[in-house]
Amino acid sequence: MKDILTREWNKFLKDNELDSNLSTKIRFSWHLVGLFLNLLLTRWYLRKVDRRGRIILTKGCPAVQNKGSIVLGNVISIWSNISRTRLTTHRKGVLIIGNNNFINGAIISASTKITIGNNCKFGPFSMIIDSDFHNVKDHNLDGESGEIVIEDDVWIGAKATVLKGVRIGKGAVVAVGSVVTKDVPANAIVAGIPAKVIKDEK
């Protein structure tokens, strides 16, 4: 808890360009009250989640539909300002989100399994979907699905889409509007439809 308070204090001073005088400390106390209320509200928003870690914050109300299993790690920010974040698991689907992640208006839908590591960022309107939902030739049949793994320190840009069976390596960046259909190497930057490596930081 001490680490959280120190982080919030330093962030508060930086964001407001203030000195640590008495007036600032009073304003920070009100900031902590707002933070506490946010934590309570977040518990309500995420009531359908099977397991929640510590310090999960929301801005706006995310949509959560859980027919499988959803597990959230520690220190996660889930924003719905620009677009509404949607976390969905279908029957037998599993969604695991690690620690220190920032999700801003993304759609994440797990029919099989989606695993997200630590320190990842997801831009508005990005989509992580592990199923085709419907067969291309016969829409009355289920489509193919495949597990998605997003390793640590990955950045998914706005309106990017990650499709079934993909593994995105540690430190990779998916550019705005890209459609990822194949594995992405660690530390690579990918862009385009379908996404291709445009820069490799190895």
- Residues with a known catalytic role: 134
Residues in the chain: 202
Q: Please count the other Cβ atoms lying within 10 Å of the Cβ belonging to residue 202.
A: 7
Phi and psi, residue 94, nearest 5°: -130, 130
CB neighbour list of residue 48: distance below 8 Å, 6 or more residues apart: 64, 65, 66, 70
**11's tokens:** 């962030």
DSSP 135-190: -SS-TTSB--B--EEE-TT-EE-TT-EE-TT-EE-TT-EE-TT-EE-S-B-TTEEE
**Nearest by Cα to 82 from 120, 112, 110, 124:** 124
Phi and psi, residue 19, nearest 5°: -95, 165
**Nearest by Cα to 170 from 134, 116, 107:** 116
DSSP-derived pairing of the beta strands 188-191 and 196-200? antiparallel
